[in-house]
Amino acid sequence: MADPFEVRMRFTSLLHHLNASTSSAIKTANYAVKYSEFSDDLHSCILEQLERNNMNNRANIMYFLPSLCEVAREKGEVGYGRMMERDILRIVDAVAPDDGSGAANVKVVRKVLKQLEGKSFLQPQTVVELEECIVGRDQLDGAVTSPTKPDVTVDVMMRDATLPSATVRSTPHSSTRDAYASSNGIRLDKRQIEQRIEEDRERHKRARETIWAVPQEGSTLKDDAEFDKTWDGASEVNDDDWQLTAEGAEERAVGLEYEDT
C-alpha cells in the first residue's frame, strides 16, 4: 500500500505544475484516480492549493476539474465528482474571490461551470446560482476607480503591466492599478503575466482545433466520418462543372506543350 503522505506530496506537486496542456491535466487526473482510496485527502489538496496559490495556478486547477471528473467517471470512481459538487461554492470563491483579487479568473470560472454542466457534473440550477454569486467580481473595488472608466478589470491591469514604466505612469489605468495593488495587497509579477498570456493562447488554439474535428464512430477505413461529412456537403456535378474541368484540362495541355518547347 502506498504511503499516504507521499501520495499527497506527489499530487500537490502535480497540481502546482499544472499548465494549459491537456496531457498535464490528464496525467494529474489519472494519478488521482489511481490512488482513489485517498480521494478525501487528495480533494483537500485541491482546495488547499486553490486557496494558497497565485491567480494563474488557481485558473489551471479550475480548468483541471472537468478532466478529473471525466476520468474518474470513466474509471467508475464517483467520489471526486460528488466532492467537487459539494464544495463547488468554496472552489469558486477561491478561484475568483469577491475582493477583486481574482477578477481575471471570473471568465475562467464561467467557462468551467458550463463545461461541468454540459458533462452533467453540475445541475443547471446550481450553475445559475453560482453565476449569480460571481456577478460583479470581474470589476475592481468601487473605492478605486479610473477617472475615465468607472470599472477597470484585472485584465486591463495585466495589459498595462507589460508596458514600460514611464508609459504606465502616464496612463489613467496605471494609477488605478497602483492604488488597487496597495489597498488590496496584489502584486502583478511580469513573469506570471507572460505565463498567463501564453497559457490562454494555448487554450484558445486547442479550442479552435476542436471546432472542425469530426467524431469518428467506427475504427475501420470504411467508417470515415470526415469524408462522409465532406461528401454530404458537396454539391452535385452539373454542366458548369464539366465545362470548368474541360477548360482546366486544355490549359494544362497548353502548359505542358510550352514546357516541352
User: What is the fold, at CATH topology level, of the domain defined by 4-134?
Assistant: 1.25.40
Mean pLDDT of all residues in 151-164: 44
Q: What is the pLDDT of residue 64?
A: 95
Q: What is the pLDDT of residue 212?
A: 66
149, pLDDT greater than 50: no
Task: Report which of 181, 131, 144, 142 is spatially closest to residue 161, judged by C-alpha positions.
Answer: 181
Q: What is the pLDDT of residue 143?
A: 35
Task: Report which of 103, 94, 23, 36 is spatially closest to residue 62, judged by C-alpha positions.
Answer: 94
Q: What is the pLDDT of residue 82?
A: 94
pLDDT-derived band at 128 (thresholds 50, 70, 90) equals: very high
Report the amino acid identity of residue 164. Answer: P
Instruction: Among 3-7, 40-44, 67-71, 212-216, name the one with the lowest average pLDDT.
Output: 212-216
Q: What is the pLDDT of residue 172?
A: 43
Q: What percent of the chain has a predicted confidence (pLDDT) above 70?
A: 74
* Higher pLDDT pick, 2 / 188: 2
* Higher pLDDT pick, 6 / 217: 6
Q: Which pLDDT tens digit goes with each residue over 177-207?
A: 443 343 344 556 788 788 888 888 888 887 7
226, pLDDT greater than 50: yes
* Higher pLDDT pick, 114 / 239: 114
Separation between Cα atoms, residue 56 and residue 213, nearest integer Å: 29
Mean pLDDT of all residues in 48-67: 92
User: How many residues make up the chain in this entry?
Assistant: 261
Contacts 24+ apart (CB under 8 A), 248-255: none
Q: What is the pLDDT of residue 210?
A: 63
